Amino acid sequence: MEEKKSVKPGEKTLSQTESITLLKRRVKKSFTCTQCGKSFTYKQSLKRHMNIHTGEKPYRCDQCWKSFTQSSNLKMHMNIHTEEKLHECDQCRKTFAWASSWINHLKVHSKEKPHSCSFCGKSFSQLQSLKLHQKIHAGVKDYMCFECEKTFITDKDLKRHERIHTGEKPYKCSHCEKRFSQRAHLKSHERIHTGRKLYHCTTCGQSFSHTSSLQRHTIKNHIK
């Protein structure tokens, strides 16, 4: 027969949940990230965490091919395809599966920017945008290029940079065969074909397709 442990009067006993929590605290976190120093109990947890620094997104949606660094983020994203979108913007008719996304979107139309940077006072409509901006002040650059060890604030900045090493040019001009590594360069190039002139001289009203052309014009004709 199993002997039951006696509890002395006034002695506190641990519940099963508390015992498990205490055991977890005692487990040594022996897997440490070489980029930021964060430690993990399991090697697999460290491997998932490293995706944040490398920008790797191994979890892909089979509906729209969007990729994610964590499987949990993919599962959350799948609700967009499987759930009914009940929240509709009355300004642009865009629909959302979650009320929180709908509320955040409405700020785009209202121009409301409730999140202010405590360092420089710049305001943002989204809290996530503020957090990203504050990394500039803090000097936090979580994403590193393994080719040259240059670091970046966002994974998008890292991906743009990596094209320097790979030579990848995913953006193709719809008017000619020329390709570009960055979307901004493609848009600038396409103005050659469309003739669109977005930049105007405030002195004489002449218009230009590129800021560099406007600057040359200003220096040549209006600066004495």
Task: Tell me the domain boundaries of the chain.
Answer: 31-79, 99-138, 173-222
pLDDT at 2 over 80: no
Task: Note the CATH number of domain 99-138.
Answer: 3.30.160.60
Please report where in the chains the tokens 């003739």 appear, as a residue. 195
Write down the pLDDT at residue 26: 52
Strand-strand pairing, 59-60 and 67-68: antiparallel
**Spatial distance between the Cα atoms of 26 and 24, rounded to a whole number of angstroms:** 5
Indicate the range of 100-104, 198-202, 205-209 predicted with least confidence: 100-104
- Options 3.80.10.10, 3.40.50.11290, 3.30.160.60, 2.70.98.30; which CATH number does 173-222 get? 3.30.160.60
- The tens digit of pLDDT for each residue in 33-73 reads 887 878 887 788 888 788 778 777 888 887 777 788 778 78
Q: Give the CATH superfamily of 31-79.
A: Classic Zinc Finger (3.30.160.60)
Write down the pLDDT at residue 84: 59
Write down the pLDDT at residue 28: 63
Query: Are the folds of 31-79 and 173-222 the same?
Result: yes
- The tens digit of pLDDT for each residue in 101-125 reads 787 777 777 777 888 888 898 888 7
**Spatial distance between the Cα atoms of 182 and 184, rounded to a whole number of angstroms:** 5
